[in-house]
Structures are given as structure tokens and as C-alpha cells.
Amino acid sequence: MKKIIFFLNILTALGFAQQTPAPKQTKSILIMGGTAHLGNGKIQENALISIQNGKIMYVADGTLAKPAKHDLVIEANGKHIYPGFIAPNSTLGLVEIDAVRASDDESEVGSFNPHIRSIIAYNTESKVTETARPNGVLLAQITPRGGRIAGTSSIVQLDAWNWEDAVIKENDGIHMRWPNSYARLGWWAEPGGIEPNKKYAEQVKEIQDFFDNAYAYLQSNKEVKDIPYEAMNGLQDGTKTLFVTANGEKEIQDILLFKKKNNIQKVVLVGGYYAYKVADLLKEANVSVLLRRIHDLPMSEDEDVNLPYKNASLLMQKNVLVGLENSGDMERMQVRNIPFYAGSCAAWGMSKEDALKLITSNTAKILGIDDSYGTLETGKSATLFISAGDALDMKTNLITHAFIDGRQISLESHQTELYKRYKEKYESQEVKSDEKK
């Protein structure tokens, strides 16, 4: 009986669906009077933003332009307007409850799985997604985990009925975890130092052998179809990106050699903690970086405790294209904090508008969706939001309106429902207390 009750509770928890997706835009919308942060480093004060058929028709200076009539006018005086924030390298929608195996679709068995497509496991009904949208995170790259090559990611917008409706760019890249050149001893509570990884060369050779076999297959007659090797198609012609997770200086240098040897057109370094040490080489090889979660401790005990915050600035100074990612412990729940990672970067060596690029235009360029997303520009998707304050500051980020492809989406979540519920409770108690007085 207890087991039945337990599973009923789980089903009930999973049964609370996400907010109903907004319908397609049918009415023209004009946002006027706010400060528009365009996502490309520029600001437009007293902005006029026209939205029609899911697109931005124009972004103009309200002191100079006279707007045409629109069906809906939103007064944004004193508020701020931003492009939708983007969460790359995310498992959002792939795991709902860590302790419930049936809701965990982030990884598959095996070491080399380029053919695993994360998009077909993406759950648009995830309650965790609801917590990201009220902080301005409106797009995500859904990425598998596990093994040496985890699989293929896809990019989605976060307000949809199913994955087919959500997908923006399907099968955009393959994700690989590069081996470490050293091994840590002990466990996390009692680290015992580090030693060289004696199997490093062997592990790198395994990767090279897989790529050699895949390329040989793609150039062959293909009498017998090999699905994993088929998935590798697109790396040499640039239609797919290879995302490689690594943090060490030696590992990053080896990745650059690997890129050149295998003629891989587009490589993105994920993690990249020590990427600033080889920034010139990254720039020369045209390799972008998705920096690991910056709200973390340094990787070495003798480093500057603020190095994680400075990393993005150090790379930008070398003209390396850099964005922010959020993999790690409780990563799905932490997606909502991505704007505040950018805010911390702004406090350590870069302007607020440059920090904004880390989660808008830079990430859009890295993911190859910058033709439609990442900035507030004429002709691009009307995926944006309005905040009462600075969206990179957790004290003032208060979103009042959000749009994905021109559709005004719900900002309600389980948390806002609880907030309203208990707010009413304590307000009623205060009234009763006043009446007694």
C-alpha cells in the first residue's frame, strides 16, 4: 500500500503541467518608453519596438520617430527591455526528478554515442522550465550527458506543446568530453592531491580512432549502415559543431591540434577554465568558449579566489568569442541564475552591456542562431522581455512581460502560485490583527 501511495505522489508531482503555451501572435504590439539593451553592446533610450507576426519590425528612438497605430501598446517607461537569454549546454527538460529513474533521460550507456538525439527526449512540460522563464531565460540548447561522446544537441524555445514545436535548430552539434591529463586523488571532502593520468594518451587515441573510422565510413560505399558513424557527418563541412568539454591548458592545446588534424570546421570549447592562458591560440583557431559556471570556487587552492568571475573578461580582452554555460550540480534548477552569472562578470572587468552579450548575442553566434536571436534588431525574432529593473541583478530583476516569437508567454510557476497563496494568508492575518487592536 505504501508503494502505491508513493507512486501516486510521484505521478501527482509530475502531473502538474507547465503553463499552457501562448498562441501565435495575431495582434501588432508596440513597446514604448523603455531602455532597450540591444544585446550587441548598444543601448536605445526611450525605445520604440514594434512587433508584428512574431518579428521585430523596428527599434527606434521614441524622441524622433512617430509610431504607427498598433493593436496593443505597452508602456515601459522606467523599465528595461532585453533580448531573451540563452542557456547553452543544458539538460533542461531531460530530467524532472533525479530520484525517479523513469524521468531521467540525460544519458545513455556506452562511450561513443554521437547518434543519440537529445531532442526526442526533451520534455516541454517540465516544471523546472517554469522557473527559468521568469528570469528571462527563453531559449536553451538541450544537451545529452555521459560517455566520451554523449550525443547530439538541439536548440529550443521554452514555450511549446511538444519538442517539434519547441525546436529552433535541430541536431546543431555533437558533444564530446575530452580526457583529463591528470587524475585527482581522494574524494571531494578529503582531496589527496593530483597525479598524471597514465591513460591519457590511450584515451586520446581512442577518440582519434573513432574519428578515423567514422570518416573512413563516410567516404566508403556504406553497404552496411552504421548509425553512430552516420551521425558524425557534418563536422568537416561545418554544418555541425563539435562541442568539447575541457578545462586544463594542456587539454585545450591538444584539442586545437585535434581540430586541425581532423579538419573540423567548427569547434566550441565548453568549460574552458584555463582558456585565458591560451587565448591567442583560441583566437587564431577561431574556437569559441562556453565558460563553466562562474559562481564556483577556483579549481586550484593557490589561485585568485575571484578568477572564475574574471575569466570572461580575460577572454574578451583577447577577442575570443565567449558565452556562459551552467553544467554541474543541480544544473537544471540553476538555469534561472544565468543572468546573475553575467552580472557577476560585469563586476569583474567588463561593462554591463558586454556582460549581457555573454548570454545573448555571443551565445547566439556560438550556437549559430544569431540570424534570428540574440539581439533586438529589425527582422529578428521578437523573443524578448521587459524587466522593472536591471535583469542582471537579482535584487532588481522583476520581469513584467516576456515574448517568444511575438507570443506573450506566461510568467507563472509553482513558486509564484505559492507566493500568492501565502501572501494572501499573511495579509489576512495582518487584517485580523489590526481589527483586534
DSSP helix/strand/coil, 436: helix
Q: Distance between CA atoms of 225 and 245, rounded to whole angstroms?
A: 29
Q: Distance between CA atoms of 360 and 266, rounded to whole angstroms?
A: 19
Q: Across the chain, what does the average pLDDT equal?
A: 91
> Which pLDDT value is given to residue 369?
98
Confidence class of residue 302 from pLDDT cuts 50, 70 and 90? confident
DSSP helix/strand/coil, 199: coil
Q: Distance between CA atoms of 146 and 167, rounded to whole angstroms?
A: 22
User: pLDDT digits over 388-434, tens only?
Assistant: 999 999 999 999 999 999 999 999 888 888 888 898 888 877 766 76
> Which pLDDT value is given to residue 250?
96
Q: What is the mean pLDDT of residues 146-152?
A: 96
User: pLDDT digits over 244-267, tens only?
Assistant: 999 999 999 999 999 999 999 999
Say what angle helices 200-218 and 249-261 make with each other, to 10 degrees.
Answer: 20
Domain 85-373 indexed as CATH 3.20.20.150: no
User: pLDDT digits over 116-130, tens only?
Assistant: 999 999 999 999 999
Q: Identify which has the larger pLDDT, 25 or 419.
A: 25
Domain ranges of the chain: 2-82+412-436, 85-373
Reported pTM:
0.91
User: pLDDT digits over 174-225, tens only?
Assistant: 999 999 999 877 776 676 678 899 999 999 999 999 999 999 999 998 888 9
Most confident of 14-18, 138-142, 193-197: 138-142
Q: pLDDT at residue 19 above 90? A: no
> Which pLDDT value is given to residue 426?
84
CATH code, 2-82+412-436:
2.30.40
CA 82, 83, 89, 90 dihedral sign is positive
298 CB contacts (<8 Å, ≥6 apart)? 304, 305, 307, 308
